[in-house]
Structure 1
Amino acid sequence: MDSLTDDLWALVLAKLPIRIFTCFKVVCKQWKSVMESPFFRKHFVSMHENSSSSSSWLLMSTDGRDAIMDYYHQCDIWGLKRPLSSFIKSALNDKNPNQKYLDVKVVAYSDLGLILIYAISKIKEKSSLYVANPVSHECVEIFLDPLLEKSQLCIPQWGIATRVDENDILLSFKVVVVNRGLSGAMLNCLIYSSETGMWSLDNTPFSKYFFTESSISLNGNLHWFAINKDSQDFLISMDLYTNSTSSDRWRVSHFPDLEKTIKFDRSCCRTPCHGFLMYINIVSTTKVDGSLEEKLCVWRLQSEGWQLISQISPGSILTGDFINYAPLTINPFDAKTAYFWSEKQESMLYINLHTGKSLTYNQFELTSNRRTMIPAHDPRAVISLKNTCVGLVPFVLPQWLYRIPNMVAVRRV
């Protein structure tokens, strides 16, 4: 074995799952050097770039406690033998078995596999904030600014954004908390940087907008749904790593169907393997003869605005006056399969966004707690029966292990 060169070791080790890479690094200096090399990372990613069926992703409710839809498939890339949601729930408790928490919840997810945990301990109800990788169990604590103490927070909206270099190494992260008043309007925005270990107050030009959902993290940006005083929907984006001034890092995007009749409440889907934010809805358009036609439309957010990338007939199951289905998400890896859920009928609808073909599944096996069920056709998915279409947050495991960078003024757990 000592005669094997670094490139041969890279070819061998790349066949093993990500979760045990951390252990491999302490075997010997050669293995550590191999696994930290750009060649090893590029080779591993190229081996698994088309392995969407072996990847893990889920939708979480915004309270951070329940997985709505959990695809794990034993996750060959990461080596998971149980659903991803179970790792998220134990990310903090496994590190602090002696710590008693009054409340622990995940408040934000990054596109590189990190989660943001807000915890209140039973000791004097002290608040704590953690950034963690739920699978590797790497976890760091961030000190809280006095403005972020429990008594100072009204209705906070959290977010976490990350920055990588040309070698795809995670350099830093930034935590954002938008503090809203009881009316929903923004009170202030605080940003924590792992590079400085400090919080800073940011001035936003959208203080009178109402933030309605949790943030979506993608490519160093955070995105929120917002409503203005005229009850119009917008997407507000924040570029955390721009070199521009504070006001220039904020951007508002008008939805492309604001003037049209739509079927569903607006929501966006993140496809991190493609690096895009996507929006889907059924839109009524007027034909040449004056009659109305309904199309299932998919847009992709570009720097210049929304780009229509798909427009298909949704079929009779999603048209008409009474629709029992609501969109859940778009497959984050292939970006071509849309998932719809009917709580009334307890059935799942899959639609191919390229061909328009659809499949409906209503055969499920209830789990022991009778709150979740597993589709009989697809044992990879676990679907919750609770709040299935309210406040969903996407979380996708990346195809590489991004280590939390060294930080200033933080305490590793």
Structure 2
Amino acid sequence: MDSLADNILALVLARLPIKIFTAFKLVCKKWKSIVESPSFRNLFLSMHQNSASSSWSLMSILYTDHVDPEIVGYHYQCDTWGLKRPVGSFIKSFLNDQNPNHKYLQVSAVAYSDVGLILVYATSKIMENSSLYVANPVSRECVEIFMDPLPKGVERSQFCFWQWGIATRTENGIVLGYTIVVFNQKWRHTKLSCLIYSSETGLWSLDDTSFPNYQYSLDSISLNGSLHWFARNSDNQEVVLSMDFNTNNNSTGSDRCFRVTPFPDLGRTTKFRRACTPCRGSLMYMNIVCASVEEKLCVWRLQSEGWQLISEIFPGPILTGYDFEYSLMTINPIDANTAYFWSTKHESLLYINLHNGKSVTYNQFELTSDGRATMIPAHDPRAVISLKKAYFETADLLPFILPQWLYRIRNT
């Protein structure tokens, strides 16, 4: 193999799943150099651009079982990653390994990025001994974030009452930098006061960004270096608050790029609780809008100029009428043409193709030993869908999506 030309060797390695060829870096310096090169990443992505979708999960950071936060799992047995088990199991095993001999009271994934990284907070009986990590649960790369020194007036004991987010800056498959953002619940009714950590400086700073009279959600969605929050203004109108941490990491307060985007169906009758989903680099929103004559299932994409309507179909009788019994679970984070709905009453999963309106209902599940309901969907036989038994419609869930490439954490 050592006699092969580099380009032929790269072609061979690029045909392998990510989980396999990353281990080949240990073979020799030549292989390591090829696998870590930008040209190899471009070759791999071009060869796998038509490959089957990747796995994704819906996670809860408020769920009582902090070690196993995956509520909904969509495990795709694809050639891109070559994983033999669901994404949630990697997070679960990683969190367990971070707490040997029960060193911490609790180890939790408190935020999720769009490049496969998670933010882990380990709570200790002595708050000064608590730890914070940025990690890739699949490759098990991990970097500890030191929480000292903190800005004046901020105490470590406050962290357990704060909410977390992580925004990343990437280039050629490498995480060049990341920003950890924390804000306090008790401040959220008047302004968004953020405690911000920059990986480039290794320092924490306090950033008072004024969003007067907005009530913020507990969770943020990380996408393309920005964080997005669901919020309500003083008139009880629902909006998306977005803050860009990618443009200039040295910006603070009003200098930082942020915007407020009202939802596109305000003032109209809708059927589902509003929520957003990241899908292929964009923030998506879906709801059934009730017009005077008919109801339409509408999907919007958030653009720089506002919401763009990209799909509008008749949802069919199962989701229309006053006695409908399904709630919106999520738009497929990998495929914007598909969406999933759930009925607790009937314990059934509804799949809808947003392009042609065709739907399939699934209510035959197998129970696993850990209490999950699993099934192989007829519309996607290479996938396995699993739901934690305690899933309920009103849960606030955060998406965690395996990207099409293994983004490495710098200096690991």
The reply to whether TM is greater than 0.5 is yes
Q: Measured at CA, do residues 136 and 183 of structure 1 come closer, stay the same or move farther in structure 2, by a change above 3 Å?
A: closer
Equivalent residues of 2:210, 2:253 under 8 A apart: no
Instruction: Please list every run of 5 or more consecutive structure 2 residues that lacks an aligned counterpart in the other structure.
Output: none
Q: Partner letter of residue 368 of structure 2?
A: T
Is 1:164 paired with 2:170?
yes
- Contact 1:184 1:212 (8 Å CA) reproduced: no
Q: Is the 8 A contact 2:80 2:404 kept in 1?
A: yes
Contact 1:70/1:381 (8 A) holds in 2: yes
Letter in 1 for 2:58: L
Query: Given the alignment, which residue of 218, 227, 233 partners 2:232?
Result: 227
Residue 217 of structure 2 is aligned with which of 195, 208, 212?
Answer: 212
Q: Report the Cα distance in structure 1 between the residues aligned to 2:188 and 2:180, rounded to whole angstroms.
A: 24
2:166 partner letter: I
Structure 1 window deviating more from structure 2 (394-403 vs 187-196): it is: 187-196
> TM-score scaled by structure 2?
0.90
Any unmatched runs of 5+ in structure 1? 287-291, 407-411
Alignment of 1:11-410 (within 5 A): 11-53=11-53, 55-63=54-62, 65-95=68-98, 97-98=100-101, 100-122=103-125, 126-145=129-148, 146=150, 149=155, 151-153=157-159, 155-165=161-171, 167-181=172-186, 185-186=190-191, 188-243=193-248, 246-247=253-254, 248-271=256-279, 274-286=280-292, 292-370=293-371, 372-377=372-377, 380-389=384-393, 390-406=395-411
Does the 8 Å contact 1:337/1:352 carry over to 2?
yes
Question: For the residues of structure 2 that align with 1:396 and 1:183, how far apart are their CA atoms?
Answer: 28
Query: Contact (CA 8 Å) 2:173, 2:408: kept in 1 or not?
Result: no
What is the letter of the counterpart of residue 56 of structure 1? Answer: S
304-313 vs 34-43, which deviates more? 34-43
Indicate conservation of the 8 Å contact 1:204/1:250, yes or no: no
Give 3-state SS (helix, strand or coil) of 2:90's partner.
Answer: helix
1:78–1:139 Cα change, 3 Å: same
Q: CA deviation at 1:155?
A: 3.7
- Does structure 2 conserve the Cα–Cα contact (< 8 Å) formed by 1:181 and 1:187? no
Distance of aligned partners of 1:207 and 1:177 in 2 relative to their CA distance in 1, 3 Å threshold: farther
Secondary structure of 1:111's counterpart equals coil
Amino acid at match of 1:102: L
Percent identical pairs in the alignment equals 62
The answer for the alignment partner of 1:409 in structure 2 is: none
Q: Secondary structure at the match of 2:294?
A: strand
List, as ranges, runs of 4+ consecutive aligned residues in structure 1 with deviation greater than 6 Å: none
Output one character per residue of 1:124-166: Cα deviation in whole Å (capped at 9) or x when no partner. Answer: 673211100000111111112546655224742211111123x
Q: Distance in 2 between matches of 1:188 and 1:182?
A: 7
SS at match of 1:93: helix
Cα separation, 1, equivalents of 2:112 and 2:350: 26
Cα RMSD over matched residues? Answer: 2.1
Query: What is the Cα deviation at residue 71 of structure 1?
Result: 1.5
Partner SS, residue 291 of structure 2 = strand
CA-CA distance at 1:188 after TM superposition: 2.0
AA paired with 2:186?
G
- Give CA deviations for 1:300-333 in whole Å, capped at 9, x if unaligned: 0000000000010011111111221111111122
Letter in 2 for 1:158: W
Query: Aligned letter for 2:374?
Result: I
1:289 — aligned with what? none
Report the TM-score, using the length of structure 1 for normalisation.
0.90
- Cα 1:344–1:184 change in 2 (3 A) is farther
Q: Deviations over 1:216-244 (max 9, x none)?
A: 01100100101122222110001002236
Q: Report the residue type matching 1:29 in the other structure.
A: K
Which secondary structure does the structure 2 equivalent of 1:91 belong to? helix
- Residues 266-323 of structure 1: CA deviation (Å, up to 9, x unaligned): 000111xx3110000000123xxxxx31100000000000000001001111111122
Distance, in Å, in 2 between the alignment partners of 1:151 and 1:195 is 25
Preserved CA contact (<8 Å) 1:279 1:300: yes
Q: How many residues are paired up? A: 397
In structure 1, C-alpha distance between the alignment counterparts of 2:207 and 2:266, rounded to whole Å: 29
